[in-house]
Amino acid sequence: MASSSYLFTSESVSEGHPDKICDRISDAILDGFLREDPYSRVAVETLATTNRVVLAGETRGPKTMDADRMEAIARECIKNIGYEQEGFHWQNAQVDCYVHEQSPEIAQGVDAAGNKDEGAGDQGIMFGFATNETEELMPAPILFAHKILRSLADARHNGDVPQLRPDAKSQVTLRYENGVPMGTTSIVLSTQHERGLTQDDVRKIVRPYVMDALPQGWMCPEDEFYVNPTGEFVIGGPDGDAGLTGRKIIVDTYGGAAPHGGGAFSGKDPTKVDRSAAYAARYLAKNVVAAGLADKCVIQLSYAIGVSKPLSIFVDLFGTGKVEEDKLAVVLNKVMNLSPRGIREALELNKPIFERTASYGHFGRQPDADGGFSWERTDLAEKILAELT
């Protein structure tokens, strides 16, 4: 039996981290396709290194989304993040595009035809998780790791901390007692900065933003607050380390507090169950916890390429449930159509809503009026309860 008192750590990375730049470019290109054709098929990967960006993948959609358009989108993303440094500049970086047409063999498995419904874009397993330890029904360590970096990014964009640069990472360790988070024991924050700042200078700049991101009284001891532990952090972004789409799947999901599937999200249209079914699983898990049926819930879905129905639905309530898990699995399959088409329609995923997901987590966010983060709604809770009575 796991201990009820323990330390748990999660990390996050900023929008300017090399991998997150790539996630954003891939998702911005996806949004570009979906704006012109909501049923575009997109699987775009991005690589970034010193003053170079490489785009690769396969698409099926409007011809206006050509290499020139994708290059322009990539440059706009880099500009909006704030990269105008010698080794990585939105205007001067070379952008190479190797995106091609979608394979007809993949298309025939995914497309609806005759009596065949739209199938999953690939095989795979997807997980969704929710816990009542925070208002957002997210694990606290990853939630606060995201909040710290997002507050610093907002301050940088607002001009409040002009000494800081886009690349940053955070790591938060929380102390749990009887399974409840009680406070931080250590925080690590590494942030790129202008030349000439000392480690103490950076520490003074970031401390108030870290404290504001945490609940009152949760700040870690001063000797456990590690800021730029290696010293200077001037060379950052893809000039310091190469980036790739999809390398931060634990940052994107639950910070290691729950299982996750093997597939990344960014750059993939919603026929790819790597993405859409992971969103559906989070949606179901969150509504189970929001309905008061459990304190924690993990849901696994599995799919086969070309097959519309999920092959399995697994529910684990970690011993906190008020309903039998096998019965709940049947109900969840009843209240939501878990085919790729059903998920797309229920969560309205054929919209250009994905670029905003590329940084600070795909989960624990507020639903947007235009349909963004629709999987964070709790509008299914009453329907689940009704089916159980």
The three-state (H, E, C) secondary structure of the chain, written as one string: CCCCCEEEEEEEECCCCHHHHHHHHHHHHHHHHHHHCCCCEEEEEEEEECCEEEEEEEEECCCCCCHHHHHHHHHHHHHHHCCEECCEECCCCEEEEEEEECCHHHHHHHCCECCECCCECCCEEEEEEEECCCCCCCCHHHHHHHHHHHHHHHHHHHCCCCCEEEEEEEEEEEEEECCEEEEEEEEEEEEEECCCCCHHHHHHHHHHHHHHHCCCCCCCCHHHEEECCCCCCCCCHHHCCCEECCCCHHHHCCCCCCCCCCCCCCCECCCCHHHHHHHHHHHHHHHHHHCCCCCEEEEEEEECECCCCCCEEEEECCCCCCCCHHHHHHHHHHHCCCCHHHHHHHHCCCCCCCHHHCCCCCCCCCCCCCCCCHHHCCCCHHHHHHHHC
Residue 2 has pLDDT above 90, yes or no: no
Active site residue 376: no
Residue 318 has pLDDT above 70, yes or no: yes
Active site residue 334: no
Asked if 6-13+141-238 and 124-132+252-388 have one fold, the answer is yes
Summarised one tens digit per residue, pLDDT across range 86-99 is 999 999 999 999 99
Considering the candidates 84, 111, 241, 325, report the single residue annotated as catalytic.
Answer: 241
pTM attached to this predicted model: 0.95
Position 262 confidence tier, pLDDT thresholds 50, 70, 90:
confident
Active site residue 58: yes
Average pLDDT (77-83) is 98
Active site residue 45: yes
Active site residue 169: yes
Considering the candidates 11, 15, 19, 27, report the single residue annotated as catalytic.
Answer: 19
Residue 229 phi/psi, 5-degree rounding, is: -55, -25
* Domain boundaries along the sequence of the chain: 6-13+141-238, 18-110, 124-132+252-388
Active site residue 233: yes
Residue 3 has pLDDT above 70, yes or no: no
Active site residue 355: no
CATH topology of domain 6-13+141-238: GMP Synthetase; Chain A, domain 3 (3.30.300)
Active site residue 19: yes
The annotation status of 358 as a binding-site residue, yes or no, is no
Quick one: pLDDT at residue 115? 45
Residue 344 has pLDDT above 50, yes or no: yes
Active site residue 175: no
d(CA 385, CA 379): 11
Active site residue 242: yes
The annotation status of 169 as a binding-site residue, yes or no, is yes
CATH topology of domain 18-110: GMP Synthetase; Chain A, domain 3 (3.30.300)
Active site residue 17: yes
d(CA 138, CA 205): 28
**Tokens 């490489």 — which residue?**
54
Q: Average pLDDT, whole number, for the chain? A: 94
Considering the candidates 24, 41, 248, 282, report the single residue annotated as catalytic.
Answer: 248
Active site residue 116: no
Put the strands of the sheet holding 164-177 in their side by side order. Answer: 6-13, 164-177, 180-193, 225-227
Quick one: pLDDT at residue 6? 96
Considering the candidates 260, 272, 296, 344, report the single residue annotated as catalytic.
Answer: 272
Quick one: pLDDT at residue 105? 56
The token duo for 370 is 């235009």
Considering the candidates 165, 247, 275, 282, report the single residue annotated as catalytic.
Answer: 247
Average pLDDT (334-361) is 97
Give the relative orientation of helices 381-388 and 273-290 as an angle to the nearest 10 degrees.
70
The annotation status of 45 as a binding-site residue, yes or no, is yes
Considering the candidates 274, 316, 355, 376, report the single residue annotated as catalytic.
Answer: 274
Average pLDDT (283-298) is 98
CATH topology of domain 124-132+252-388: GMP Synthetase; Chain A, domain 3 (3.30.300)
Q: What is the CA radius of gyration of the chain?
A: 21
Considering the candidates 107, 242, 304, 329, report the single residue annotated as catalytic.
Answer: 242
The annotation status of 17 as a binding-site residue, yes or no, is yes
Summarised one tens digit per residue, pLDDT across range 42-78 is 999 999 999 999 999 999 999 999 999 999 999 999 9
